Structure 1
Amino acid sequence: MQVVRRSSKPVKDVARYMQPMRPLRVPKLPTDNSKWLYEPKLDGYRAIALKNAGRPTLYSMDGQVYDRKFPEVFDALSKIICKDFVLDGELVALEPNGRPNFNELQNHQHTSLPIFFIAFDILHFKKRDLLDEPLEGRKKRLAEIAEQFVAPIQPILVFPDEVEVDTTIEVVKQTRVEGLVAKRKGSTYLPGKEVDFWQKHRFNQEDKFFIGGYITGPLGIGELLIGEFRADDKFYFIKRLIAGLNKFNRRELYDSIQDLKTNNCPFVNLPEKASEHQHAVTSEVMAECLWTKPEQPCEVEFIERTPRRKLRHAEFRRLLPRSGEK
């Protein structure tokens, strides 16, 4: 797989891959729309799209070349007339109602949904870096080049200043977009950094859990058994997880945890009693389980925690790097 070559020597004013700046995840967004602008938080793959001296390249967030992986986007990138620019944005699979579908994006080679690149920032334009320009200036440059966009490349929707933040939140919730990003007006761009002048908030909660075992099924994984470490440093069972597993990620999950298999159950609070809840991990269920050392983290989305710290309407999102991995 082709990956961008990173130089230790700083390069300026050349259209090139830049590691995206990351928003800080917050429990509540700022509400002063005189100081912040608001965009929908898209559920996709962060990407960098650029042209250098007329040559287009599409990069993943970590610098992998995506030209062949998303050929329709690459073709549209090639048709942009401007010869030198760097766009920051998100690759998404869009449903007919405009809602991104992350599972379909994972299945991008077979999905019937169109894959779009939604541009929300521009980092370089016409042989000049824009990193030190205020956000509003970069947005003007983005609007300028967006006149050359053809599908499936388009600019992101920015909610107008006159729309109250509470109204914006309601609109986003009704369309079932996963959240909002607030960006402070006047802010610059710091490649590769997580910054508090971009803030993201998901209306569903998400958190990191660890895989402690699984029940076999299609492509090796039928159900994941996830848990968390608590203040006493013990590992507690949280959920039997099925939602979010599909034929595209089950094999990846299975392969990722085979080196962690163990004969010992890692959860301190198993078995459960059948009377506790409908999907209790009883002694009988435990006999079907294969255990793993709790070292492989994953991201899980859920509505809320129950009083007993279980998850309501939980869904597997993605694997996360293990400790020490990048």
Structure 2
Amino acid sequence: MASLSVFIAVLVLLACTSAYAEVEYALFEKWIAEYNIDLQLEKPDKLWPVWKENAEFVFHQNSLGLSYKLALNEFTHLTPKDRTGGSKIMVSPDTSPANFHGIGPLPPSVNWRNKGGVTPVENQGQCGTTAAFATVDSVASFGFVETGQLKMPSVEEYIDCCLNGSCDGSVFSVMGFDCIAKMGGLACEPDYPMNGNHTCKSNEVRPCVVIKGGSQVMPKGDEMALAAALVKQPIAVGIDASHLSFQMYSSGIYYEPSCSSVKLDHAVLLVGYGTENGDDYWLIKNSWGSSWGIDGYMMMSRNKNNNCGIATAAIFPTN
């Protein structure tokens, strides 16, 4: 990334000169090399228009002094719709949302990653079922809370056996957790790896993370209740990730005034909260690989009217 940073600095210096376009294309070529873009599949003349527009957006946003920074990354050649696939996140109705009010004062911060209760960041690649990754991540963290041991349950088993092998669509569902409970839990990833066959083989493996109960849905839009629940365990949440600012996020506390709190298109694992320089934030784990954001994580605005809908669709497993 150092080479890209140098070129970005040069672009800023040359922005008003005739050499700008030449240097910008040189940065594009550096990006191709840095991210090992397969030119047999991705032709530069096809990538360049979107990449150029996105790169210029990054430079402009970073000049505004916002609470967060953007950076060129492996998604610079994609539109947000290309990245998310236009998914819609929904939580199936629950008549009795969790009640976490009146449980006493909350700690000033929570970070399940620092406690060792969060599995490593994965890259969902072409799999559009972001809710599957968030659901399985929540199961892994629930297992840690229950036993003190962190294991990596199989996303493939969940897709094969609870989503009928479909890698499309993103629905948080109490039925999804009920499905896991009926299987007794999920096998570990090494015992049930990603294979693309999408044929359920749960009867051939033993669960390494046991789930006996179902799930609990959080009340919509209640950030205080969400924080109280997060003290107990990490939580799968739906968010609006449809903005280019989210796609190109690099660091800082993300606040997007254009975000919707209703139209959600992505799912992540909520692993912590805190305050930095007087600004409250949520800490989320994404599934776009560790090169995105802060090693695969993002700090999102907290207590700002449910920005990006982080408290709209939240669900966690129970026993």
**Which TM-score tier does this pair reach, normalised by the shorter chain?**
under 0.3
Structure holding more strand per residue: 1
Larger radius of gyration: 1
Structure with bigger RCO (C-alpha 8 Å, 6+ apart): 2
TM-score (norm 1): 0.24
| TM-score, structure 2 as length reference | 0.24
Identify, as 1 or 2, the structure richer in helix: 2
